[in-house]
Amino acid sequence: MRKVFSSNEVSETTLVRDALVHQGVEVTIQNEHSGGSAVPAFRPPAEVWVERDDDYEDARRIVIDTVATLSSKSDTKPWVCSTCEEENAQSFDMCRNCGRDKG
């Protein structure tokens, strides 16, 4: 197994995982639920690990393409939750950390 991607944004990790699985790459996510940690200072990044080392190079290419696509579509600024100060993507209607409405 080799780590191919990590992010503090679990949603990014999920999108990368889904892109890899769609291309037939077997993966595992480590720390998938770290975003729900009760201690904000201790939130290890979620990591995507490729099951077969032989898939690593193809997986890296898929990750690079996926992240580039995500970056090109994220031209809007994130908003900050007034309750917990979590930064959220503009498309989120509620805070991904505490659930408070964007409004």
Class of domain 2-72: alpha beta
CA distance 98 to 103: 14
Question: What local confidence, expressed as pLDDT, does residue 41 receive?
Answer: 63
Question: What local confidence, expressed as pLDDT, does residue 1 receive?
Answer: 93
Q: Do the beta carbons of residue 55 and residue 5 sit within 8 Å?
A: no
Per-residue model confidence as pLDDT tens digits over 74-83: 567 888 999 9
Per-residue model confidence as pLDDT tens digits over 20-33: 999 999 999 988 77
Per-residue model confidence as pLDDT tens digits over 35-91: 555 665 667 888 999 999 999 999 999 998 888 777 665 567 888 999 999 887 776
